Chains A and B, each alone.
Chain A
Amino acid sequence: MTEPLVRPKRKDPLRKTRQPLYPQLIRSRTAHGLTAAAAQGRFELQTCLECKTIFYPPRDACPKCLSARVPFVPVDNNGTLLAETTIRTSTDPYFRERTPWRTGLTKLDCGPVVLSHIHGDVREGERVRLDLKLDKGGAPVMIALPEKDTPNMADDPHLREMTCDPKFRRVLITDGRTEVGQAMAEAFSKAGATIVFVGIADPWKPFPGQDRLRQIERVEIVPLDVTDTESITEQAEQNGGRIDIIVNTAEHVRGGGIMQRRGLTVAREEMDVRYFGLMRLAQAFGPGLRARGADGVNSSAAFVNLLSVHALMNWPAYGAYSAAEAACQSAAQCLRAELRPGGVKVMNVFFGPLETEWFQTVPPPKVTPAALAKAVVQALQRGLEDVFVGDIAEDIRARLAVNPKALERELTE
């Protein structure tokens, strides 16, 4: 059974903070099929379309029939741990600091034998589930998990290296004025975050839900306005050194396209709140996050972007909004590259219309703020990078994968 994590003690201010390291693993272009699956939390291996052989590690051709038609497809992840070993020394600086480290060979029911990390609750000869994860460096790796969930299994130190579990971490929700921000605060509090900082802009403006927000356990209201560089800088100076997860809930949703809007006032607000807001947060909090990626149990872990799925394909009814979201999606890719050396994940969470006032005229299905918050917490617990929440987001993802041009036309109809 996994030893439950205890709340980390206060840091010894005389000790040097360890610099983040990550496993040096370079994957081939083909092997990034694993990256794509791991980023979204799917278990996929290459499967030969000719002879149906499932194989691992990734190759450009089927090892049995030499066919080049070998896409990654979801496969059964159950298997048996054939053998295990404990590595006690390593020349790799990342593993050197973390030995002993157990690895094992799993024979998957679907065929391949896989060498992987193994969870502390797994023993040789037992049935296991293989999971695809992104390691500290963002590379896809596998870990053998117990067949059935065990108590405190998320607290396993190897597994926690691959996830961004909010438990005992300090979280900043950037905007608590919105329903989404409030749902997030509640979800992170429930998930065991040590402190949930919640940013409030213009505190002189009352907002619905503020009394409830203040009552949530471990919530600490802080002044923060993503459109104000000084406010963000001050907050980063104040609390940046102890924030492990940032969830940017600042939103700006207005209907209307590019041409029909009169002037740029709303578009500027949109870009200011969303794109420049993200940039301000990245500049103020990013360096601190990157520096604290190996800072013990409550190391920095993730920057979460909440993005409309229409960042990926413009929805002309909300066309200018979609464009601003697309800017954020692009910026997030850049931030991901910038934070990777710190072992900090940038998680993009895509969703369709929300069950909020600004999507009032849009018919269902819509995503409730509570469902979105739950999905964000779960995705962090799993260590994902790209998350699609709700039917619309899933649908757009699927259609985008098949024929982006068709989707572009369909969204105008």
Chain B
Amino acid sequence: MASDLLAFARGLSQGAIRIVDLTQTLTQDFPTIQLPPEFGQCAPFRLEEVSRYDERGPAWYWNNISVGEHCGTHFDAPIHWISGKDLPNNAVDTIDPANFIAPASVVDCSKECAADPDFTLTIPFVETWEKQNGGIAAGDWVLLRSDWSKKPYAEYAGLRSDGAHTPGPDAAVVKWLVEERDVHGFGTETIGTDHGQGHHFNPPFPAHFYMHGKGRYGLQCLTNLDLLPPKGAVIVSAPLKIKNGSGSPLRVLALVEASP
């Protein structure tokens, strides 16, 4: 085993394994999830300079940052949702770290999403994808590639008077991915794992409800999914170890075998 691990390290240093950064830069103006204003809100990322080689600290530069757990590219733990609230090891500090590295199936819906911002991922769509790319394996992340991360922020958030218009899964496909495919979790490029209109689905916010209800994870605000193969990428996604945390901004990396 040890030699395999070193071979892996060699592969990384020699370029046989590529690292693709799936993370958006944590910045003040990146859209965050919007709830009706009377609810508590997720704090957007903010940064206050403590010192920058000046009278506040002559030889050093550093910042204080503040950020909600569900801001920027972030991880959702099962405890985030009411359906997962009583599961064991359901918070970011208690999840077995073995879960922070897992392979991914990347379902490319970019063409469909470009044509329809309300694109909804369904079981037949995934079944077709499986016919072309092979079955989704147990323990796979399922990542929905929408190319949404390439959009300007207004379009990215997709906010209209009747709510957000961004792609996502329907309720049946999430339940099916969990129960029939035993997936590791669900990841998207959009602000949340759920469809922009997901609060009108049954149950509301099905990606949250089913994934977290069965102890599965979520990743959102991902980018560069277009640089991943449909199968074969390995995702490294370790959230901050926040005491009883429901999620956390994090750096998400994909390991991809360089094409020969």
Contacts and interface: CB of A to CB of B under 8 A. Distances in A.
30 contacts: A202-B29, A202-B31, A203-B153, A203-B154, A204-B31, A204-B152, A204-B153, A204-B154, A204-B159, A205-B34, A205-B157, A205-B159, A206-B159, A206-B160, A223-B29, A225-B29, A227-B46, A228-B28, A229-B47, A229-B49, A230-B28, A231-B28, A231-B29, A254-B38, A265-B41, A265-B43, A266-B40, A268-B43, A269-B41, A269-B43
B162 to A, nearest CB: 12
Interface string A189-231: 0000000000000111110000000000000000101011111
Interface in B149-174: 152-154, 156-157, 159-161
B96 interface: no
Contacts of B40: 263, 265-266
Contacts, number: 44
A238 to B, nearest CB: 15
A45 B128 CA distance: 88
B35 to A, nearest CB: 12
B4 interface: no
A228 B40 CA distance: 19
Contacts of B46: 227-229
B48 interface: yes
B156 A204 contact: yes
A228 B67 CA distance: 12
Identify the 6 closest CB pairs spanning chains A and B, nearest first.
Answer: A204-B153, A204-B154, A228-B28, A204-B157, A265-B40, A204-B31
Contacts of A269: 41, 43
A202 B27 CA distance: 12
Contacts of B153: 203-204
Interface string B25-57: 000110100100010110110111100000000
Nearest to A272: B46
Interface of A: 202-206, 223, 225, 227-231, 254, 263, 265-266, 268-269
Interface of B: 28-29, 31, 34, 38, 40-41, 43-44, 46-49, 152-154, 156-157, 159-161
Given A204-B157, A227-B44, A231-B28, 8 more contacts: A204-B159, A206-B154, A227-B46, A228-B28, A229-B46, A230-B28, A231-B29, A265-B41
B28 to A, nearest CB: 5
Contacts of A204: 31, 152-154, 156-157, 159
Nearest to A280: B48
A254 B46 CA distance: 22
Nearest to A233: B49
A204 B153 CA distance: 5
Nearest to A357: B37
Nearest to B151: A204
Contact of A229 (B43, B48, B152): B48
Contacts of A206: 154, 159-161
Nearest to B32: A202
B228 to A, nearest CB: 26
Contacts of A231: 28-29
Contacts of A205: 31, 34, 157, 159
A2 to B, nearest CB: 47
A205 B160 CA distance: 9
Nearest to B154: A204
A227 B46 CA distance: 8
Contacts of A265: 40-41, 43
A58 B28 CA distance: 54
B159 A225 contact: no
Contacts of B161: 206
A254 B154 CA distance: 27
A145 B48 CA distance: 50
Contacts of B43: 265, 268-269
B214 to A, nearest CB: 29
A263 B31 CA distance: 24
Contacts of B159: 204-206
A204 B34 CA distance: 11
Contact of A230 (B34, B47, B160): B47
A227 B157 CA distance: 20
Interface centre among B43, B46, B152, B160, by most chain A C-beta atoms within 10 angstroms, is B46
A265 B69 CA distance: 13
A89 to B, nearest CB: 44
Nearest to A206: B159
A230 B28 CA distance: 8
Contacts of B28: 225, 228, 230-231
Nearest to A208: B161
A231 B27 CA distance: 11
A228 B157 CA distance: 20
A204 to B, nearest CB: 4
B52 to A, nearest CB: 12
Interface centre among A204, A227, A263, by most chain B C-beta atoms within 10 angstroms, is A204
A229 B161 CA distance: 30
Nearest to B152: A204
